[in-house]
Structures are given as C-alpha cells and as structure tokens.
Structure 1
C-alpha cells in the first residue's frame, strides 16, 4: 500500500497549494531510480524538494515501492517515516509533515 501512502501525501500537499512533480515531470511521481524518488514542489515563489529513500530488507538494491522507508524535505529539514497507512503514527505524522514543509 505504499502507492496509497504516496498518493495520500501528494493529495495533502496539493490541498495546501503545492504543485507536485516527480523528478522527471508531473507524470512520474512514483519513478524510482537508485533507491530514491524525488519530488519537486512549488507554491508561488516557494520551492521544496522531497527525497524518498527505499531500503531493501537485506540492504541490497531495490526499486520496489514497498521498500519505501522515509522522505526528507530539503529546505525545511523535516522527515516523514512511512508507517502503515492505518497506524496512528501515520495519521499524526502526515499532516504535521505537510504543515512543516511549508515553513522555512
């Protein structure tokens, strides 16, 4: 259900006025390269970059969305861990992260 969590995050950012594009364009928000996904955010004059990191269970290379561990926001310095979508931790951390991304 990692795609569902990424989609939920994307929609939450868009509700806050952010335009979300994958590193290779708006049509590629789930594109994995070298265990990483990159989103570029823009809202008016504000810019942010989110790097999502994937880790295979035994430390080897992976491009499976199921191996997504966390996302780092460059400018704001905040981190979002990808807990289970039904967990209380995810329900609390998602809106906090989206709010924090807008504060630089």
Structure 2
C-alpha cells in the first residue's frame, strides 16, 4: 500500500505541473531513513519532498512499510501516511496540495 500512496503523491505533483527530478528506479531509494524527491515546476521553481521512514524501535530501516510521513523540505507541516481509503489520507493529500501551492505562490 505504501507504493500506492506514493504513486498518488506523484500523480498529484504531476497534475499540478511538477516534475520529479529522478529516474523511476530511484523514486523509492532509501538513504538515511529517508526518500528524497527533488521536484521542479514548469516555471523552474525547485522544492524537495522528504519521505521519512520510522522503525518501531528506533533502528535504521529501509523498509517502505516503515514510511511514516512526508513533508516539503524546510517547512514544518508533516503529512502522515494513513490507510489509503481513509478520510484522513484524503485530507492529508488535500492539505499537501494546498501547502505546495501556497509555497510556490510565495517563491516569486
């Protein structure tokens, strides 16, 4: 299910005019308990999406099942992974979409 939620985020970004600056094989590559997506808008603005993995006992992890939240680098708000069909997950996606739009508007 983690891949399905990450695919939803990817589609949301692409629908909003963003490109992920990675090839497909690196989209899910874990390094230091994180997956990093550098993204670029059609007008050349750059942001970074950070997916954070958290293992139950605080150990290092590379398992996508341990994906806990994602956020826009250098911004406080975290968007927690929930069950894919839950209202909470849909709300997280909506809030993320609004947040990224507001950040872009302020990058000018």
The answer to whether TM tops 0.5 is: yes
1:52-71 to structure 2, matched below 5 A, reads: 52-71=51-70
Following TM superposition, by how much is the alpha carbon of 1:26 offset from its aligned partner in structure 2, in angstroms? Answer: 2.3
Aligned equivalent of 1:13: 13
Q: TM (normalized to structure 1)?
A: 0.88
Following TM superposition, by how much is the alpha carbon of 1:76 offset from its aligned partner in structure 2, in angstroms? Answer: 4.9
Query: Which 5+ residue runs of structure 1 have no aligned equivalent?
Result: none
CA distance in 2, matches of 1:75, 1:103: 14
Following TM superposition, by how much is the alpha carbon of 1:74 offset from its aligned partner in structure 2, in angstroms? Answer: 2.0
Q: TM (normalized to structure 2)?
A: 0.85
- The structure having more radius of gyration, on CA atoms, is 2
10, 28, 34: which one aligns with 1:30: 28
Q: Is the 8 A contact 1:78 1:101 kept in 2?
A: no
Query: Which 5+ residue runs of structure 2 have no aligned equivalent?
Result: 104-108
Aligned equivalent of 1:40: 38
Q: Return the structure number with greater helix share.
A: 2
CA distance in 2, matches of 1:33, 1:74: 16
Following TM superposition, by how much is the alpha carbon of 1:49 offset from its aligned partner in structure 2, in angstroms? Answer: 0.5
Q: SS where residue 85 of structure 2 aligns?
A: coil
Following TM superposition, by how much is the alpha carbon of 1:93 offset from its aligned partner in structure 2, in angstroms? Answer: 1.2
CA distance in 1, matches of 2:50, 2:19: 16
CA distance in 1, matches of 2:65, 2:73: 23
CA distance in 1, matches of 2:74, 2:102: 9
Following TM superposition, by how much is the alpha carbon of 1:63 offset from its aligned partner in structure 2, in angstroms? Answer: 0.3
CA distance in 1, matches of 2:93, 2:67: 15
